[in-house]
Every structure is written in structure tokens, then in C-alpha cells.
Amino acid sequence: MAKSVAVLLDDKRIGAIKGSELEGKIESMFGGQLSCFILEMDDAKAKEVMDAFDTARVDSRGFITDVPIAFNRALFEEIAKSKSLGAEAIDGVLGRVEEIKEAAAKEKEFLPHPVL
């Protein structure tokens, strides 16, 4: 079964794709409170993503969540570069896994988990 990834869009990201065909592919989530792109990927690519990031999981909707912020940033960059929500965007991200892991490690320095 295919898995999906939601790439959340803020005003800056929407501005970056304004006027392209991607603008028509923006979807709403949570009653229109969030804008996003939804990318579908086959099981093989989903497994690669899940294997690359130990925090990643699949939720009840079949969406891959809990990936590093750097993953989402890179995915948007690949979408904007390729002007596509297809396999080329996911392939671009999978080709940058080591770079994303390095950036994700820095996230932990800036976004520490709460001490209970």
C-alpha cells in the first residue's frame, strides 16, 4: 500500500511556487487551517525513508510523520526545483539523505526535548 507525506506550506513557500502548476495542487488540511502538498510514494521508497530516519513512523492515515524538519525542508526544495509532486522529488531527497541527517543532528542542538 502506498504511503503519503504532507509537506506543510507557509506564505513564503506558497510565494515560491506562485504562478506554477504546483499552485493548483495545494491541498487543505484540518478544516482549511493548513495548506500542504501531499506526495504519494510506493512502498520501496517509503521503506527507504523509514530506514533513513529512526524517528519516522506511519500514522493511521498512511502518512509518514515524525521525520526531521530538515527532511521536510529538503523535500520542499526538491518539489520547487522539479516542479513536481512525483517520484523525482522523493528521489532527490533520498539522494541527499546524508546531508539531511547532518542537518537533523543540528536540530537536536537547537530543539532539545523537554526534561521531565
pLDDT at 111: 60
Residues 1-15: tens digit of each pLDDT: 789 999 999 999 999
Give domain status of residue 8, yes or no: yes
Q: Is 99 part of a structural domain of the chain? A: yes
31 or 115, higher pLDDT:
31
DSSP-assigned letter for residue 5 = E
Work out the average pLDDT over 44-68: 93
> What's the pLDDT tens digit per position in 83-101?
989 889 999 999 999 999 9
- DSSP symbol at 111: S
| Domain that includes residue 38, residue range | 3-110
What are 35's three cell numbers? Answer: 495548506
Q: Could you tell me which of 35, 38, 39 has the C-alpha nearest to residue 18?
A: 35
Residue 30's pLDDT band, with cuts at 50, 70 and 90, is: confident
Q: Give me the number of domains the chain comprises.
A: 1
Residue 34 φ/ψ, nearest 5 degrees: -130, 145
Task: Judge whether 18 lies within some domain.
Answer: yes
Q: Has residue 115 been placed in a domain?
A: no
43 or 32: which leads in pLDDT? 43
- Pick the closest to residue 53 from 72, 40, 80, 37 (CA basis): 72
Could you tell me the pLDDT band of residue 113, with boundaries at 50, 70 and 90?
Answer: low
Whether residue 31 has pLDDT greater than 90 = no
Percent of the chain with pLDDT over 90: 68
Instruction: Please report how many Cα atoms fall inside a 13 Å half-sphere around the Cα of residue 1, on the Cβ side.
Output: 7
110: pLDDT confidence band, cut at 50, 70 and 90?
A: low
Decide if 96 is inside a domain.
Answer: yes
Assigned domain for 84 exists: yes
Nearest alpha carbon to residue 70 among 7, 2, 3: 7
- Which of these, 96, 70, 76, lies nearest to 16 by C-alpha position? 76
Please check whether residue 80 lies inside any domain of the structure: yes
Look at residue 116 and tell me if it is in a domain: no
Confidence (pTM): 0.85
